[in-house]
Structures are given as C-alpha cells and as structure tokens.
Amino acid sequence: MSAIKYRIAVDAMGGDYYPEVPVHGTLRALKELPGNFLIQLVGSRRAIEDELSKRMSAMRYRGYDKSRLEIIEAPQVILMNDEPAASVLAIPNSSIHVGVRLQRNNFSDAFVSAGNTGAIMAVSLTSLGRIRDVYRPVLTGVFPTMNGYCVIADLGANAEATVELLVQSAQMAVIYARHVLGCVNPRVALMNIGEEEGKGNKLTIEAYHELKKLREAGQIQFVGNVEGRDVFRGRKADVIIMDGFVGNVLLKFAEDIMPLLKDWQRALVKKGPPLQKVFAYFGKVLLGPLQKTLKKELDYQKYGGVPLLGINGNVTVCHGGSSPLAIVNAIAQAGKMVEQDIINKIKNQLTTS
C-alpha cells in the first residue's frame, strides 16, 4: 500500500438518510475514486459498523481497502431542523463538531457533510475561523447549464451582503472555478435586474464598480451584469455573483423545476381524457432516453457538494437529500480542494489584492 496523501472526514450522521447514504457513498468513493486518501467516517461507531457490515454483504464492496477507512466516534447528532446557533452550544460532540475539530487539530484535511447547513457553517466558523481578511464565508455552488456549468456564489451563507463581500465572493469563486473545476479564465458576472452599468440597487451598482476595478487590475474577467434568464443558458458567464438571499431563493426555485414539471404533467394527465393517458404513456416511453439525458445534465449531484469558501479549512456541504453518488462526487471535490491547496490560494489572492 502506498502512503496516504490526505484525509477526508465524512459526516456519517448528516442528511436525510443517515447513516446509509454517507456510509454507502464512502465505500463507493474508496472503490471508485483515484488517489490515496483516507476517509474518516464520523458518527456513532455502532451505527456506522452496523451499516458497514450490511453493505459488506453486497459482493461489490468486499474488495475495499480497509486501511483507508477509519471510524471516529461522535456520540451526538445535530438534526436537519435544529437551530444552528443553539446546536453549536448544546451539542458539542456532534458528528459535525467532531469532524470539524479533526481538521482544526490537524488530524484531517477536509470535512464533507450532508447535514444542517447552518450548523456546519456555525461550527466551522467558531472552530476553524475565517481565512485572514475574509469578511464572511460564502456557499459556492455549481449549477448545470446548457454549456456545462456555472458557479454561483452566494447560495445563502449570508442573508445580508455588502459590496466587499460580493467582491470577495467573486475572487474566491474564480479560484474555485479555475483550480477545482478547471475553467482556466472564468467569465465573472454580477446578477442584476438589468444588463447596463448603473442598473440595480445600491449594492449591485457599487459592486459593479468594484468588480470593474478588479478587471482593470487584470485580476478577474468581469463581463458585467446578467439577469435571471442567463443562469441556465450559460452563454455569458462561468461565475455569477449575487447576495445570499437572492441565491438561496433562486436555488430553491431551480431545484424544484424538474420535479414540479413532472408533478404538473401527472396532474394534467389525471384530469385529461383517457386517450391522452395512453398517448402520454407511450410518448414518455419514447422520450425516455432523452429525458434521462436531460435529467442527468440537470442533476446537481454531478458536483456533489458546495464548498464553504473563506473558512480557514476545507468544508463541503451536501444537499440533505444527497444520494450516495452525490457523496462520492463531494468527496472527490473535497479531495481536489486539498490537492490544489485552495485555502492558501485564497489567502494569497486576498492579501496581495
């Protein structure tokens, strides 16, 4: 066995389906992902071992390298609807606390969790702190687009934004797009309610001005304002900056589009004439492969997790409803954040700018 290069702590008690999904995802990651990393499953040892032995009975995981998996005991669980602020004080030995603490004490290099976003953020902030000169950490997600993907920041880490925060979000998101997603010179845009300079509210008008300065300094390729319709088209920008309130509303709106259309069609079929039911059935069968490809392209799980950029550590948040595949992809992405030393790249960028 070659030497372990880095260690990723995975929250075994996070998300809507724990410990099944995180444990299953971990086993798949160990089998499928390249690279010599160690996974530290954090949570109730008993629950994790039960789940592991269940999974072991499936042939395909028998061959995984046990020396690359550690179990770290965390006796408490923060639930998805616990209040972040309260949980930080009241549940100090939760899997989130233990996972983050491993990193602070240099026993781990990254933390991946599908748990309570607010709690992950609060614990990361109190335990790991921010990178020097960072105002606030930012949730930086990846949306699928017709041309590939688009990095969106902030998805809701901060309900209240400032000009400085938007500018920093742009700088951090560019580093992420460049070094983790491999977009060499990302086009950065500002979400606004009109394309021309001077459109928007006080925040976006001033942010436009500051982002223009960064462009003139050769730091980022700022392409100006974009509007709501430009997110999924992907023609104009690779990174779109917006305040966390707008980002969160948009994320929750966008996530539900495909399920909504499906439900809506189903309701219409139910109300419609019987012959339409038959037509719809065969139509769906014929369109099946295409729909499947479209669904795959639109799948947020491709990118697995959303890094909390600006934290003095590697913390990746996954959707509460994540599948094992999403966990695998989040682990891969967290690994890339470690390999590319994103924290130091952000540090250098922010202190030299």
Binding site for a second copy (CB under 8 A): 146, 156, 159-160, 191, 193, 199-202, 204, 227-229, 231-233, 242, 244-246, 248-257, 260-261, 263-265, 267-269, 272, 276, 279-280, 282-290, 293-294, 297
Output the DSSP codes for 270-332: HHS-HHHHHHHHHHHHHHHHHHHHHHHHT-GGGT-EEEEETBSS-EEEE-TT--HHHHHHHHH
C-alpha 2/C-alpha 9 separation (Å) is: 20
C-alpha 70/C-alpha 76 separation (Å) is: 18
C-alpha 136/C-alpha 63 separation (Å) is: 43
Nearer to a second copy, 170 or 231 (CB): 231
**HSE-up of 217 (CA within 13 Å, CB side)?**
12
Min dist CB 192 to a second copy, Å, is 8
Min dist CB 281 to a second copy, Å, is 8
Min dist CB 205 to a second copy, Å, is 9
Nearer to a second copy, 126 or 265 (CB): 265
Nearer to a second copy, 251 or 342 (CB): 251
Nearer to a second copy, 4 or 257 (CB): 257
C-alpha 113/C-alpha 252 separation (Å) is: 19
Min dist CB 317 to a second copy, Å, is 15
Min dist CB 58 to a second copy, Å, is 33
Min dist CB 288 to a second copy, Å, is 8
Nearer to a second copy, 265 or 344 (CB): 265
Nearer to a second copy, 27 or 246 (CB): 246
176: left (phi over 0), alpha (psi -120 to 50) or beta: alpha
C-alpha 309/C-alpha 306 separation (Å) is: 9
Min dist CB 65 to a second copy, Å, is 38
- C-beta separation of 49 from 71 below 8 A: yes
C-alpha 10/C-alpha 188 separation (Å) is: 32
Pairing of strands 239-241, 148-153: parallel
